[in-house]
Amino acid sequence: MSPVTAMYVAQAIHGLTYGMLLFLVASGLTLIFGMMGILNLAHASFFMLSAYFCYQVVAWTDSFWIALILAPIGTGLVGIIVERFLLRKVQKLGLGHIGDLLLTLGIALVISEAVKTIWGTESHQVLIPPSLQGLVTVAGLEYPIYRLFIIGLSLVILGALAFILFKTRLGMIIRAAVSDRDMVSALGINMPRVFMFVFGVGTLMAGVAGVAAAPMLTVFPGLADQIGLDAFVVVVVGGFGSLLGAVVVSLFLGELNSFGIQFIPRLAPVLVFLFMALVLSFKPMGFFGERDE
């Protein structure tokens, strides 16, 4: 393989890694929006929170693997608490989507400030576990093992999500609720419980992404800034509530990012937002969106 091809492949793997992480974050966001009609502005904060949990658990136990289990679960629990005690309350106030947006904005601010208060503003290092360090050679090319691990992990989660959504009764309810919220709640299903579950799973997935990203990006307060904004772009462009849209656009953005930085470093981030602005202006429901809000 020529060096140029090798560079392209490496760059593509790079983009794929980020695209997968982005998907983990964005799929939760889009599911929550599809089901509950809430655009959760605090979603990326859960990603960051989980990275900090990871750092803390590693500091205590010295094991990345334990952190990979515990941090997302802790994050998911925080998510459930937020849904049960804050979101559910504000939904009853009848402020419409402005109420949801403002509340989740407040939560995002509090999480970001709380993190700074507890762990300080400096960055913390989380080491890649020894078994995942180094490079592996495939077809004459060297890949960092850890990136391949992230891609694999994301695929496993994606598979689990697909299984729940398409093979279980709960998943059927969730999919039905995404396409017609009122009808499902009229069927006598305990929707608040389902909402709580979806919110919990959504934050848990963001949590997994947070842990996976921690060793790559180091843990610092601005950790979620880029992935958070990108996740919104994914949800908006892919269509509010559309999982298929989330997959396609996440991977696309991942590659756009990776190659954009390579070729037009100054304009890459602009392109993403320009793209989103255009899509929103002419197709306010996104490419794969169905429902008119």
Interaction site with another protein (CB under 8 A):
39, 86, 89-90, 93, 95-99, 101-103, 105-107, 109-110, 113-114, 116-117, 229, 232-233, 236, 240, 266-267, 269-270, 273-274, 276-277, 280-282, 284-285, 293
Q: Please tell me the distance from the alpha carbon of residue 238 to that of residue 258, in angstroms, as a whole number.
A: 19
Measured from the CB atom, is 28 or 72 closer to another protein?
28
> Residue 134 or 222: which CB sits closer to another protein?
222
Dihedral (Cα; 265, 23, 223, 89), 10-degree rounding: 140
CB nearer to another protein: pick between 137 and 292: 292
Rounded CA-CA distance 162/243 in Å is: 10
State the minimum distance, in angstroms, from the CB of residue 8 to another protein. 25
Q: Is the Cβ of residue 96 or residue 152 nearer to another protein in the bound state?
A: 96
Residues 6+ apart with CB under 8 A from 230: 22, 26, 253, 257, 272
- Closest approach of another protein to the CB of residue 112, in Å: 8
How far apart (Å, rounded) are the C-alpha atoms in residues 275 and 271? 6
Q: How far is the CB of 80 from another protein (least distance, A)?
A: 17
Please, what is the minimum distance in Å from the beta carbon of residue 38 to another protein? 9
Question: What whole-number distance in Å separates Cα of residue 111 and Cα of residue 106?
Answer: 9
Counting every residue written for the chain, the total comes to 293
Q: Least CB distance from residue 130 to another protein, whole Å?
A: 37
Instruction: Round to whole Å and give the CA distance between 75 and 174.
Output: 21
CB of 217 to another protein, least distance (A): 19
CB 51 within 8 A of CB 213: yes
How far apart CA 157 and CA 164 sit, in angstroms, is: 11
CB of 256 to another protein, least distance (A): 14
Both tokens of 252, joined, read 């696309």
The C-alpha atoms of residue 90 and residue 80 are separated, in whole angstroms, by 15
8 Å CB contact between 244 and 81: no
Q: Please identify, using beta-carbon distances, which residue of 10 and 84 lies nearer to another protein.
A: 84
- Listed residue (65, 58, 79) closest to 205, CA to CA: 79
**Of 91 and 258, which CB lies nearer to another protein in the complex structure?**
91
Identity of the residue, 41 or 177, whose beta carbon is nearer to another protein in the bound complex: 41
Instruction: Take residue 212 and report the two structure tokens written for it.
Output: 């996976």
